[in-house]
Amino acid sequence: MNELIATLHAACKERADQAALTFRGQSLTYGELWNRVERMAEAYRTLGIRAEDRVVCQLPNSPEYLISMVAAWISGIAFVGVDHDLTGPELVSLVDRTDAVAVLYQPRAGAEDGMEPLHAVREAFPKIHAIVHGTDEPAGTTFDDLLDGTAAPQETDRDYTRIDDLGIALLLMTSGTTGQPKLVVETYRALWSKTAAFLEAMQPDNDDVWLLYPPMAHGFGLKMTLMALASGGRLVVMDRFSPSGALDLVTAEKVTVLPGTPAHLRMMLDRLDGERHDVSSLGWAVSAASPLPAALLEQVYTVLGVEMLFIYGCSEGFYTFTTDRADIEAGSVGRRPMDGPEGTPADGHAEIVALDGTGAVAGGVLGEIVYRAKVPVRYWGQESVAVDGWYHTGDLGIIDDEGRLHVRGRTKELVNRGGLKVSCVEVETALGALPAVADAAIFPVPDEVLGEAIGACVVPADPDDPIDLEGLKSGLRHSLARHKMPDRLWIVDAVPRTKIGKIDRAALSSTVAS
């Protein structure tokens, strides 16, 4: 049984007259949403797009994105969601890699030539189906015309669960911060198992209102979308994040579930205006991407008045999560999955292994997080990327004496300071706990003596109160060993981050150079 499709269909039928999604002040009911999904699925069929074909979607967060995706699923089509700002060569490469038969495209607002990426795709692949939205340029079939010209088929005895739940639902792009983005193969079963686990932890109901600004094309935004709809709530969609805009929607729409990476939460708390904004409707915050500094976490709990679901995971499939405040305040991202019978590794079981490849390390020792996947991890074009049944995440972590997992950054996010390896995330977490620091990023800088020194980009909490290197070191002396202290300091207005809130380390050097 395909539980993902069955659950979404049941929600749309049982709550046909209830609002499912609100976008730019306009709402769609669950019944209207499913009708459009059915019509889009029929449009795919009319265009000759069949089960197991690939469709690339470059649309921003919108009803059209959601409709296109679910319509692909009920048709057995693999959906490839991508960032809205891909360049022409990037989009051409992706279409080529996936052998996609169709592309859904919307020009990026403010771009000098917003249609150039689509023109590049059509030049490289003249036979591809182009479905465009948000433009009058005749570059393909418009989404609205396609939908308006297609009638929904009769639902009599239609079996929405006929799609194999081990079939490919998504090709999910990794962030690509350490190289070319990979395409993770995500089955319907794997996607639903994660969504169901998060729902079990939160227990939301159909009165909840979910704000969505993380991109639907990324794992975090996608899971939030599915959680909202599967639980019968209402999804309030933003196509572009701004802290004031998010707070305005929380106030106007009485949002109860707020997503937020640490960077997003910090920006919203900084912009929170008691006279303009009312956040009393909030009940939950859902966070991911990186640990929350202690001071920020305290504000989230006290100022926003929420419970928190904190998620750690990777596009490849592994995840842990927790709603336990004590665990979150301890810097944990959840408990290690239990072992199997007689100490054998269970599916989903996590371990910490030594960076030199010598095997598992003792509790509390830093190493790489590896896990035994429930479903073999696959990238598009590869059968499996596991090594002896274990998938290497590339993340640094420790497991403490209570079995709690703590993430300490990436294996490639280390500073080799005179032969001593220092985790960038560990130093950033310590900096974030200082009252004088609003945000911080650590990166290696060349040094003639040490080989690499520790560089720090810091955003002051008070721009009128200067921060110097010695003051920072003084504040860190109780939390970091001497060799982990920053060696050089740059004061910046903002730390460069990716769309999902991770530090963009590739952009740090240009930030410093400017």
The answer to whether residues 227 and 200 touch, using CB atoms and an 8 Å cutoff, is: no
The answer to whether residues 18 and 206 touch, using CB atoms and an 8 Å cutoff, is: yes
Q: Where are the beta strands (DSSP E) in 223-338?
A: 234-237, 257-259, 284-287, 307-313, 319-322
In the chain, DSSP finds a helix count (H) and a strand count (E) of 15, 24
Closest to 184 (Cα-Cα) out of 462, 380, 419, 26 = 380
Q: How confident is the model at residue 158 (pLDDT cuts 50, 70, 90)?
A: low
Sequence-ordered list of residues with C-beta below 8 angstroms from that of 4, at least 6 positions apart, any chain: 73, 165, 169, 188, 189, 191, 192, 195, 226
- For residue 366, give the H/E element and its range: none
Strand partners, 212: 237
Does one domain contain both 107 and 181?
A: yes
319-344 pLDDT, tens digit each? 788 899 999 988 888 876 544 444 44
Residue 504 has pLDDT above 90, yes or no: no
**Tokens representing residue 34 in the block:** 């499913």
Give the mean pLDDT of 110-128.
89
> Which has the higher per-residue pLDDT, 345 or 262?
262
Q: What is the pLDDT of residue 409?
A: 73
For residues 89, 94, 99, 105, the Cα torsion angle rounded to the nearest 10 degrees is -80
Let me know if residue 321 belongs to a domain. Answer: no
Q: How confident is the model at residue 498 (pLDDT cuts 50, 70, 90)?
A: confident
**Tokens representing residue 369 in the block:** 């997080």
Nearest-angstrom CA–CA distance, 178 and 508: 14
Q: Cα–chain-centroid distance for residue 49?
A: 28
Closest to 438 (Cα-Cα) out of 495, 476, 486 = 495
Residue type, 34: W
Nearest-angstrom CA–CA distance, 79 and 187: 11
Q: Is 425 helix (H, G, I), strand (E, B) or coil?
A: helix
Q: What is the pLDDT of residue 236?
A: 98
Give the mean pLDDT of 57-79.
97
2-14 pLDDT, tens digit each? 999 999 999 999 9
Pick the last residue of a domain from 385, 410, 435: 410
Let me know if residue 206 belongs to a domain. Answer: no
Give the mean pLDDT of 154-171.
79
Identify the weakest region by mean pLDDT among 34-38, 316-320, 504-508, 510-514. 510-514
Does one domain contain both 503 and 454?
A: yes
Give the mean pLDDT of 89-112.
90
Most confident of 248-252, 378-382, 485-489: 248-252
**Tokens representing residue 165 in the block:** 């739940």
> Which has the higher per-residue pLDDT, 269 or 480?
269
Q: What is the pLDDT of residue 302?
A: 95
Q: What is the pLDDT of residue 345?
A: 45
Residue type, 358: T
Sequence-ordered list of residues with C-beta below 8 angstroms from that of 460, at least 6 positions apart, any chain: 436, 437, 438, 466, 467, 491
Does one domain contain both 399 and 421?
A: no
Q: How confident is the model at residue 25 (pLDDT cuts 50, 70, 90)?
A: very high
Q: How confident is the model at residue 178 (pLDDT cuts 50, 70, 90)?
A: very low
Q: Where are the beta strands (DSSP E) in 148-190?
A: 168-173, 183-187
Phi, psi (5° rounding) for residue 512? -70, -40
Does one domain contain both 58 and 173?
A: yes
Q: What is the CATH number of the domain that holds 462?
A: 3.30.300.30
For residues 215, 218, 223, 228, the Cα torsion angle rounded to the nearest 10 degrees is 10
Pick the last residue of a domain from 188, 222, 248: 188
Does one domain contain both 54 and 153?
A: yes
Q: What is the pLDDT of residue 339?
A: 43
Let me know if residue 226 belongs to a domain. Answer: no
Nearest-angstrom CA–CA distance, 2 and 160: 8
- Helix, strand, coil shares of the chain, percent, nearest 5, are 30, 25, 45
Does one domain contain both 181 and 85?
A: yes
Nearest-angstrom CA–CA distance, 439 and 269: 13
Nearest-angstrom CA–CA distance, 139 and 130: 7
Give the mean pLDDT of 13-38.
96
Nearest-angstrom CA–CA distance, 512 and 489: 10
Does one domain contain both 142 and 7?
A: yes
Let me know if residue 93 belongs to a domain. Answer: yes
Does one domain contain both 428 and 501?
A: yes
**% residues pLDDT > 70 (the chain):** 90
**% residues pLDDT > 90 (the chain):** 48
Does one domain contain both 477 and 371?
A: no
Q: What is the CATH number of the domain that holds 399?
A: 2.30.38.10
Give the mean pLDDT of 446-472.
87
Q: How confident is the model at residue 77 (pLDDT cuts 50, 70, 90)?
A: very high
Residue 348 has pLDDT above 60, yes or no: no
What pTM did the predictor assign? 0.82
> Average pLDDT, whole number, for the chain?
86
Let me know if residue 310 belongs to a domain. Answer: no
Nearest-angstrom CA–CA distance, 425 and 442: 7
Please count the structural domains in the chain.
3
Q: How confident is the model at residue 511 (pLDDT cuts 50, 70, 90)?
A: low
Does one domain contain both 151 and 60?
A: yes
Residue entry with tokens 């795919």: 44
Q: What is the CATH number of the domain that holds 97?
A: 3.40.50.980
Q: Is 290 helix (H, G, I), strand (E, B) or coil?
A: coil
Q: How confident is the model at residue 478 (pLDDT cuts 50, 70, 90)?
A: confident
DSSP strand pairing (183-187 vs 168-173): antiparallel
Does one domain contain both 389 and 353?
A: yes
Does one domain contain both 138 and 61?
A: yes
Q: Is 56 helix (H, G, I), strand (E, B) or coil?
A: strand
Give the mean pLDDT of 113-117.
87
What range does the domain containing 461 cover?
A: 413-513
Pick the last residue of a domain from 392, 410, 428: 410
- For residue 105, give the H/E element and its range: strand 102-105
Q: How confident is the model at residue 142 (pLDDT cuts 50, 70, 90)?
A: very high
Nearest-angstrom CA–CA distance, 337 and 370: 12
Strand partners, 211: 236
Let me know if residue 246 belongs to a domain. Answer: no
The answer to whether residues 82 and 69 touch, using CB atoms and an 8 Å cutoff, is: no
Phi, psi (5° rounding) for residue 237? -100, 130
Q: What is the pLDDT of residue 514?
A: 53
Nearest-angstrom CA–CA distance, 314 and 318: 6
Q: What is the pLDDT of residue 277?
A: 96
